[in-house]
Amino acid sequence: MPAVNFYPRFADQVESGQKRQTIRLRQFHPGATLHLLTGQRTAWCQRLGVGTVTRCRPVVVDFYNYVPRIVIDDVALSVKQMEAFARADGFPDLDSFMDFFSDHYELPLAAWVTEWDLAEQTEETAA
């Protein structure tokens, strides 16, 4: 069962279920169980939840003539769709999304956007 680590800035959104997608270099398959963590491999590691992958699609994040561009399944998103995508990924707006990916990756970034449903909390998953 794969573990997915999140920056602390996203932890509350992941734990609450507000953020249920992530962009990763690795492809996850629908039905896979994800252990959602922050601080992985540290003394302050915290489990944020357990999710079941519902969909994983190829995504490209880039600038085209200095304009943000997000392409999912070979379809370029409109500005309105990119704004919604950025918010779904835990960012307040498209500019902060693009700043983050520009700072952390070499663009163009070809990766996978993975979406999940949170598993019901039980005593076993909460521990």
| 85-119 residue pLDDT tens | 999 999 999 999 999 999 999 999 999 999 999 98
Candidates 47, 44, 49, 38; CA nearest to 116 is: 49
Chain length of the chain = 127
pLDDT (tens digit per residue) in 44-87: 999 999 999 999 999 999 999 999 999 999 999 999 999 999 99
Beta carbons of 38 and 73 less than 8 angstroms apart: no
pTM over 0.75, yes/no: yes
Confidence of residue 1 (pLDDT cuts 50, 70, 90): confident
Q: What is the CATH number of domain 3-122?
A: 2.30.130.30
- Rounded to an integer, what distance in angstroms lies between the CA atom of residue 6 and that of residue 118? 15
Candidates 99, 89, 20; CA nearest to 59 is: 89
Beta carbons of 18 and 48 less than 8 angstroms apart: no
